[in-house]
Amino acid sequence: MPTRFRKVRKYRGSRTHGWGQIGQHRKTGAKGGRGMAGGHKHKWTKLLDKDYFGKDGFTPITRREEKTANLLTVSMLAEKSGNNLVNLVESGYTKLLGDGKITTPLTIVVERWSKKAEEKVKQAGGHLVKPAELVQK
C-alpha cells in the first residue's frame, strides 16, 4: 500500500490520532497490564499460543572453539625463531589450515591439520607431528 493511502497520513499533527484525551492507547493500561498480568483473565488466549513464552528447554552448545593458523603464519613464526621446528601448540594454535605458501622444509607440531596443509608441507619437504608423538621421540 502506498504511504499516501495509509491512515496515519490523515492523523499527522492531530496529537492523539483519534484516541481521545491525553495518554489513551499509549501506555501499559492500553495493553491490559505489564508482562504476564491478566494471564488467567483477559490475556488467557495468548497463553494458548505455544510460542508466547519464548525459549523452551535447554540446547547444549556443541561447537568447539579452535584457534587456527595458516601456512603464512607458520612461515613467519619459523623466520622469527630461525628454527626448522615450529611448535604451534606452544603458540596457542590447535589447527593448521592450508592457506598460503611454504617453501622451507619445516617440522610443525600441531594437534590437527587440513588435507591441503598436509599436502603443501610434504611438497616443501617438511612433515607434521602431533604433540604426543613429539614427547615419545
- Write out the chain's pLDDT in tens, 137 residues: 898 899 999 999 998 888 888 878 888 888 888 888 888 888 888 777 777 766 667 777 777 788 999 999 898 889 888 888 999 999 899 999 999 988 899 999 999 999 999 999 999 999 999 988 776 66
Please indicate, yes or no, if residue 11 is contained in any of the structural domains: no
| Beta bridge mates, 109 | 87, 129
* Count of domains for the chain: 2
Distance from C-alpha of 46 to C-alpha of 43, rounded to nearest angstrom = 6
Domain containing residue 86: 68-136
Query: Rounded distance, CA 106 to CA 118, Å?
Result: 12
For helices 115-123 and 71-81, angle between their N-to-C axes, nearest 10 degrees: 40
pTM across the whole model:
0.53
State whether 48 and 90 are in the same domain.
no
- Do residue 79 and residue 36 come from a single domain? no
For position 56, what pLDDT does the model report? Answer: 66
Query: How far is residue 25 CA from its own chain's centroid?
Result: 40
The answer on 119 and 90 residing in a single domain is yes
Closest CA to 128 of 94, 103, 117: 117
* Location of C-alpha cell 616443501: 124
Domain C-terminal end among 59, 86, 106: 59
Same domain, 39 and 80: no
Q: Is there a single domain that holds both residue 73 and residue 48?
A: no
Give 74-113 as a DSSP string: HHHHHHHHT-SEEETTTTT--EEE--S---S--EEE-SEE
- Identify the CATH number of the domain in which residue 82 sits: 3.100.10.10
Let me know whether 130 and 75 are in one domain. yes
